[in-house]
Every structure is written in C-alpha cells, then in structure tokens.
Amino acid sequence: MTGTITSTSPADPARVLGEFPEAGAAAVGAALDAARAAAGDWGRGPAAARAAALHDAAEAVRAAGDDLVDLVVAEVGKPLVEARAELARGVAILRYHAQGALDPDGATYPSADGRTLLMARRYPLGVAGLITPWNFPVAIPLWKAAPALAAGNAVVWKPSPEAAAVADRLGGILATVLPAGVLSVVQGGGDAGAALVDGADGVSFTGSVGVGTRVALAATARGIPVQAEMGGLNASVVLPDADLAATAATVAAAAMGYAGQKCTATSRVVVVGDSAPFTDALVAAVDALVVGDPADAATVVGPVIRADAAAAVVAAAAAGGTVATGGERLDRPGWFVAPTVVTGVDPHADVAQREVFGPITAVLGVADADEAVRVTNDVEYGLVTALFTRDLDRALDLAGRFDTGMVKVNAPTSGVDLHAPFGGEKRSSIGPREQGKAARDFYTSTRTIAISPAGARA
C-alpha cells in the first residue's frame, strides 16, 4: 500500500466520508491474479449462470438504493434528483446486460466444400481493466462492468479517488452476488491505473484527454484492446425558427445541471441570426435554476468537485467575451460557482475551445446554418451536438454534417440511452463504442472456427 485516500464532500469539504487504503503495484497485481484465476470458470461456465448473477446484482443494487444515493450526493455533489436517476439507470444497465448474456455468441457461414461447419464465435478477453471517473460513480462503472461480466470476463476496477466511498460501497454490494475474484476494486491514483493497464487483457477508460491518451498508448504498446472516452465540447445549435422559451430552458439545464460536470453538457451555444433574444431567454432560464445543497430535491446546480474546478470556471469566464450572468464563486461553504453564461465569444477564444467541466456555457453568434456547422465542428472534440429547429428538412440535412458521435434534434446534449451506442469522434473517443449491443464488441474477441468431417481431404 502506498497511502490513504481521504474522501470529503464538495458541498462541505470539512466532512470526511471515509478513508481508503491506496493500492500499489503489488496490490493491483494480486487483484489481477485473482481475476485471472476466476475468469476461466466464469467465462467457460453457462451463460445462464452469468445472466442470473447479473440479475441478482441488479436487485442488490436496487435494494441498497437509498444508501447509495445518499453517498453519491455527499461524495460527488450530485443533486438528489439526478443521483436517484443514476441509481435507477445503474439497475437498468445490470438488467439489460443480464439478458445480453444470453444473446447469440456467433454466426455460421457457408463453407467452401459444403461439408465443413464454418463459424465465428465470440470469446471473452480474460481480465478487463476498468478506469472510471467520479462524476457518474454508479452508472459508468456499471455500463463497463456489466457487459464485460456478461461476456465472461473477470473485472478489476480502479475508480477515481474522488469517488472512493461510492466505489467501496458498490464494489461490496456486487461482491455479495458474484464469485470471488470475478470483480475486484483497487483504489488509487495514476500509479494504480498504470499497473492495471500493464496487467489487464483489455482496458476501458473514461476521463481526461491527457490521461486517456497515455492509457491508449500504453495499452497499444502491449497489444491489448483499449477503449477511451475523454470528454466533449458540445454545442447546441439554435436556428431562427426554434421555440425560444423551450430551447432556452433545455439548454440551460443541459449546460448547468450537476454544475455542468458531464462530458455531454452543453459548453457552447451557436445561435444563427440575431443572438440577443435567445441570449436573454437563456440568461433568464439559467438565473431561474436553483443553486444549493445537493441533498435538497429542488437543487439543480450543486457544487463543483474541487477548489481548482471552481477556480477554472471563474478564470474561463474572465478569459473572453462578456459575462451575462455568473462568473464568480458563491459565498458559502463548499465549492460552489454561480452558473455562468458568456456572450459575444469568438469561436477561437479559450472558453470556446477548451472543456472547462463546470457550470459555464459560451454563446456564439453566426450568420447562417453553414457557418454554424463550421463553428460547431472547429474544435478538437466530437461527442454530441444538439440542433434546435422546427424544420424537419433542415434537421435531416444538418444532422449528418456535424463531426460528433451523437446528434440530437430538439433535445439536450446531456443524457443518453443505455441501449444505444455511446461515443464520439476526434479527441472525444478512442476505440469501439460503449453501451448497448455495441459494448460486446470491445469485451470479446471473435475467432473463426472450421470443423470438417473426419477424413476430409486437405
């Protein structure tokens, strides 16, 4: 062990939620060894047994829901309503992949000789290493672990230190219904993550671009599959015919909900034509959001995760454009920042090019739809774009022109369906998509098998 992780609450930094031993390379190695020993029986055993175990896991998480929700609210500052929704989503993910364990595991093909059985079958990788962030401490680990387990892999999971208490609790719940060694939690920072990448048979990562790129390079050097989700700088594009009030309310929630701490949050608003009426509506909608204690069911915007995250929002607000609302720390305990709208922003300004990961959005005015597409695409990220219009023909035309993995029409950038592929383009993602049926593509390897009759000629 190399140290201790102390978990505190961003809403009340003096509140200690727990202390957890930090795993060193030896502890990570031991978890990998235990996982590899367990993976054989787990992966070769009946798929029905894996399905039953995941159904049991869903019920165990559901039964512990109130405690988990309270811990999510306390440890990462997620507003109560969103924490409840995340818990429900986690349960649904486990149930979905419990059924997925019984999906067909391959296909047959016509053979050249007409007698040989030619087939392609999916096999588990072995041990899947998962590295997850703090902002969705239940849903993201489960949307990685559930398909990995359903496919027959064992899992070693390294959560973010900022979500150590939730990870400890969730890992303990899952351990009650899974065979020993099939899922292990190793707490720690970068050294633990590096040790996991060095020993796993495949790595799925969610986090920053810098760390994700290093993870991808290390995994590729070892010749193992890697999947990295690394954020976004998402735009909501507003056409002149959009419903002004409804669009402003939707964008405000997508930009500021959970203090903007989602990779799918709206970081930029690209307004075609006169941007002033929409900006006024957006500022009014943002100012109406309840900022406060995340344990209060009325709260929409809670604290950011750390003091440096709060400082980053204030710095970004001052870096370009005009602050229409917010732009400052709030005078209360915890890491609270006023929801911030910056207007008159140049598309190449820092606030329009860099993911801040906080309650801030930049409004950019453009002359026409073609310029909106250019401005939207002119960033390093490509996760999700939202388009607001009442013109179906225009929506169909523009939807295919955005360089993002997801495009949503008259819907917020935030929020995804657990059964649909999730991922982005450019620096947002590396490797195959997550979630839904697409998840199995990463956690399995396809092998082509030919079985010919005995005595068949070469």
308 contact partners, CB below 8 Å, separation of at least 6: none
**Contact indicator for 281, 110 with CB cutoff of 8 Å:** no
Buried b (16+ CB within 10 A) or exposed e, 267-293: bbbbbbbebeebbebbbebbeebebbb
Active site residues: 229, 263
Written as six digits, the tokens of 108 are: 């047959």
Phi-psi region of 326 (alpha: psi -120 to 50; beta: other; left: phi over 0): left
292: its two tokens: 């406060």
Neighbouring C-beta atoms of residue 44, cutoff 10 Å: 10
Q: CA-to-CA distance for 45 and 243, rounded, in angstroms?
A: 54
